[in-house]
């Protein structure tokens, strides 16, 4: 047996129903908030992420599945969707084509990280992006939408955390304040943090090393260094969230691991998840669209990790529906008519199982029971001679003879009643 690659996983029947439910809810929530789906390639030019995600990020520095293709081009499996969605938005001038510049994408992402529960090398995101609106009303709407998605999935023990990381106007002063506050103590920090102090001091807040925490806890907070427009923006986002009745906590440590963020950042944490507890994360990225060659448009969005949402969903969120019918054939002459009956039921929209291997009637009945089929349709010599099918309701145990010509309609009606009740 050749097992799956480390950090990748199969989603097998039993679990896949939870994924299908999640995807259905995701499409529906996006539709209701005015987002249109976009499907972008899994493979992109490496420079898209070097420029978009940022050279100083762990993702670009350590985690990309980048390689030179046979034509000599540097390409990579996408580690996140935001730069791809921005690229598609610009490349297809979607701003002109759509009344609302709101896009979402669902698909696999690839990061060469150390696998653990909730962290994989191939994982899936629902990525939601909105362009062209600077008003804080959109920040609040996007955050509220993220919270609603989580609630729609029945995930109760989730916590929304928000912060602001300022803008290119006020961030230099904050970076200086961080370095001043660190002083010589920077030498006590881990290697990653010493590198961050040189390249992007804000990123020090990402550090998870226990030994570094006492120093990091004493560092200044972004909110105290915001320029007036950033400060007003953050206050307006908070006010709008309060008007929505969305509960949140402000964490000055929430700087997010990607370079493009400006102003609002947020995450929703799942308390039941363990160390990899971020169900989703996002923020505002005004400036990115232009940086990637597009017009000067604001942007904001988030991405949710589907594996983590599936883990956090309640155990009974979605189960496989049992088949509607099982066709039992008694004797050789009934085998072909049983296949035809199964075909007719399937064409009428009913999930139908049938035997192929001339099993005994007893064995077929057993399999119908094991599959939890709602109805068993029995075809034997008597039924064929009389132009009928014996219909056994597996819940009540009642059995009756139904004319062959009526049986498909009859089952369809039963199924409708069943769905309605």
* 123 touches ligand HAM (CB under 6 A): yes
Encoding tokens for residue 262? 């400006």
Tell me the per-residue interface mask from 243 to 262 with ligand HAM, x by CB under 6 A, - otherwise: --------------xx----
* C-alpha to C-alpha distance for 261 and 207, rounded to whole angstroms: 18
* Residue 80 sits in the site that holds ligand HAM (CB under 6 A): yes
d(CA 124, CA 258): 18
State how far the Cα of 355 lies from the Cα of 380, in Å rounded to an integer: 13
Residue 168 structure tokens: 């290119």
Q: What is the footprint of ligand HAM within residues 82-111 (CB under 6 A)? A: 82, 111
Check if the beta carbon of residue 260 is closer than 8 Å to that of residue 53: yes
**Taking contact as CB under 6 A, which single stretch among the options 76-84, 209-217, 333-341, 394-402 is the one that binds ligand HAM?**
76-84
Q: Which one of 67-75, 112-120, 329-337, 382-390 is the stretch in contact with ligand HAM (CB under 6 A)?
A: 112-120
Cβ at position 282, least distance to ligand HAM in Å: 4
For residue 341, state whether it binds ligand HAM (rule: CB under 6 A): no
Contact (CB, 8 A) for 385 and 401: no
Distance from C-alpha of 282 to C-alpha of 299, rounded to nearest angstrom? 11
d(CA 139, CA 239): 11
Minimum distance of ligand HAM from residue 192's CB (angstroms): 17
Helices (H), ranges, 98-162: 136-152
Nearer to ligand HAM, 255 or 379 (CB): 255
Binding ligand HAM by CB under 6 A: which of 22, 88, 126, 279?
A: 279
CA 74/CA 46 separation, integer angstroms: 6
Q: How far is the CB of 218 from ligand HAM (least distance, A)?
A: 26
Q: Is residue 388 involved in binding ligand HAM (CB under 6 A)?
A: no
* DSSP-assigned letters across all residues of 199-215: H-GGGGGG---GGGHHH
Question: Which is closer to ligand HAM, CB of 159 or CB of 344?
Answer: 159
Are 91 and 265 in contact, with CB atoms under 8 Å apart? no
- Which stretch in 77-85, 181-189, 202-210, 222-230 sits in contact with ligand HAM by CB under 6 A? 77-85
Nearer to ligand HAM, 146 or 341 (CB): 146
- Residues found near ligand HAM in the complex (CB under 6 A): 80-82, 111, 113, 118-120, 123, 125, 127, 129, 257-258, 278-283, 285, 301-305, 307-308
């Amino acid at each position: 047996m050749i097992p799956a690659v480390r950090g990748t996983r199969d989603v097998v029947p039993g679990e896949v129903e939870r994924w299908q439910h999640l995807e259905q809810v995701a499409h529906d929530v996006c539709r209701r908030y005015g987002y249109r789906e976009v499907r972008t390639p899994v493979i992109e030019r490496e420079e898209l992420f070097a420029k978009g995600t940022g050279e100083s990020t762990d993702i670009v520095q350590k985690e990309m599945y980048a390689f030179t293709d046979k034509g000599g081009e540097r390409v990579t499996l996408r580690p996140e969707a935001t730069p791809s969605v921005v690229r598609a938005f610009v490349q297809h001038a979607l701003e002109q084509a759509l009344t609302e510049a709101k896009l979402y994408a669902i698909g696999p992402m690839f990061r060469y990280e150390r696998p653990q529960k909730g962290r994989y090398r191939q994982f899936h995101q629902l990525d939601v992006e909105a362009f062209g609106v600077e008003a804080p009303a959109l920040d609040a709407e996007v955050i509220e939408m993220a919270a609603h998605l989580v609630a729609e999935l029945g995930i109760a023990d989730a916590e929304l955390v928000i912060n602001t990381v300022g803008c290119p106007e006020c961030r230099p002063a904050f970076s200086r304040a961080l370095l001043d506050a660190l002083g010589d103590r920077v030498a006590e920090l881990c290697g990653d943090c010493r590198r961050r102090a040189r390249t992007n001091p804000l990123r020090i807040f990402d550090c998870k090393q226990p030994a570094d925490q006492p120093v990091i806890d004493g560092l200044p907070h972004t909110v105290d260094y915001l320029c007036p427009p950033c400060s007003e923006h953050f206050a307006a986002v908070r006010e709008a969230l309060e008007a929505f009745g969305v509960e949140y906590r402000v964490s000055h440590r929430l700087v997010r691991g990607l370079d493009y963020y400006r102003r609002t950042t947020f995450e929703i944490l799942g308390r039941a998840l363990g160390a990899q507890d971020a169900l989703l994360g996002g923020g505002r990225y005004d400036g990115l669209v232009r940086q990637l060659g597009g017009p000067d448009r604001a942007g904001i969005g988030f991405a949710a990790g589907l594996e983590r949402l599936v883990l956090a969903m309640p155990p009974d969120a979605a189960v496989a529906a049992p088949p509607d019918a099982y066709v039992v054939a008694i004797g050789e002459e009934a085998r072909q008519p049983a296949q035809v009956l199964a075909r007719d039921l399937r064409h009428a929209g009913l999930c139908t199982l049938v035997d192929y291997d001339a099993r005994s009637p007893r064995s077929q009945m057993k399999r119908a029971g094991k599959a939890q089929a709602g109805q068993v349709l029995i075809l034997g010599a008597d039924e064929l001679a009389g132009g009928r099918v014996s219909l056994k309701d597996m819940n009540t145990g009642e059995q009756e003879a139904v004319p062959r010509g009526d049986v498909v309609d009859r089952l369809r009606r039963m199924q409708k009643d069943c769905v309605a009740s």
